[in-house]
Structure 1
Amino acid sequence: MKTNITKQELNEGLINVRSAYRLIFEHQKRVLNTIDYIKDKFGMKADGGNKFFSDPISIKRADYPEVWTSSGMWAWDFLYSYCFEFYFGNQEIKIDDLSFRFDLSVVQVSDTGFWDSENEHKTELDTQTFNAVKSSESYFVFVFESKIDGAESYWNDKDKLGKELYPFLESKENFKVFDTTNGKCQNSKFLMIKYNMSDFIDQQATDIVINQYKSFVFNHTKLEL
């Protein structure tokens, strides 16, 4: 903890902290409204998600208190919306009498500063090693997998998604597509694509992105969402 500040400096800093929390609330409210709208447009029903970048806070089994806290926890552990996956669920779809299943998530990446940084000593616990705020981005990353119904999923847990997501965020690529069956089925694919959050400024703009995404999925899988 930095201690070489005056009480006046701390009080002035706390004003900024209170403003930041209120700004984050308004931002996250907007994000949640956008996520709900996107999920509804795709007709998806699942509710749930995964926290990335740091550990989630564990629920205690005892009645009081509700969650575990411990010495050595990261401050990021309390900031769920820094990088969070909203899982939309899965659906079945048919192509030429073949049944396919697809899974869909949208990952909120509020700040790419860590992944954009070229500092060889960067660490999650030192924001001074992150890329500059003005040179970083805020993304929604759409994650999609299609497979023949009954086949094993490639994206089958949080760790697998993390192993794909982090290098993707570090890369300069806007999208990633690969065949999960080594050519055995052209419709079985894993897809990720980045969209800047500012692309979802209103309903009309969001509808445009959704239609673009549907075309992106169809072009690579022949599945019509």
Structure 2
Amino acid sequence: MNMSEILTTTKALLQGVEVVTILFVVVLIASIPLGFVLTLLSRCRIAPVRWVVNAYIYVVRGTPLMLQLFFIYFGLPYLPVVGKMLVLSGFSSALVGYTLNYAAYFAEIFRGGLLAVDKGQYEAAQVLGFSKAQTIVRIVMPQMIRVALPSVTNESITLVKDTALMYAVAVPEILHYAKVAVSRTANPMAFVVAFVIYLIMNTILQLVFNWLEKKLAY
């Protein structure tokens, strides 16, 4: 494969980069706050709410992401009564599936972050007259974020790599275009280009999160 073919292949793979970037940004923006809400609900004093949320986290974390995507894309339309209203495109199914999946993982990460906050912080906030909401937002969350950020970084990098599973619901992404290029040229160089693209994306992501960790350290 000469330089011209490599450039052509790279241009084709960049179409997949656009899809991956959109999915990554939307899923991260949606799943992080949803994960935090799930963390709070998993500690709720109302037992049925706590049981349902913990069961959800257990099931999602205990089953493959690809299987969850299959269920959303292929299975939901077959549900009785409401199935016809749950027919989603491949990309919409991916957005829903990835968001629900990563929210469960972020919920566990944030739970660990909350457990790392000393109980004395809550007592001090109560003495100072802070409400529960003020305590969470102004005292607990900043400390929790500092503890949870390295794990959030790891999950975010995993999310970039997991976007390769979008092919399961007929969404063309980076690896899809790489496989098409390999089939067309009978040359595996497209996989090398895909490798470099993923590495660059995750390197940029790592640098951004490292910068955030340094900012929060102060």
TM-score range, shorter chain: under 0.3
Relative to the length of structure 2, the TM-score reads 0.27
More strand by share: 1
More helix by share: 2
Larger RCO: Structure 1 or Structure 2 (Cα < 8 Å, ≥ 6 residues apart)? Answer: 2
Relative to the length of structure 1, the TM-score reads 0.27
Larger Rg belongs to: 2
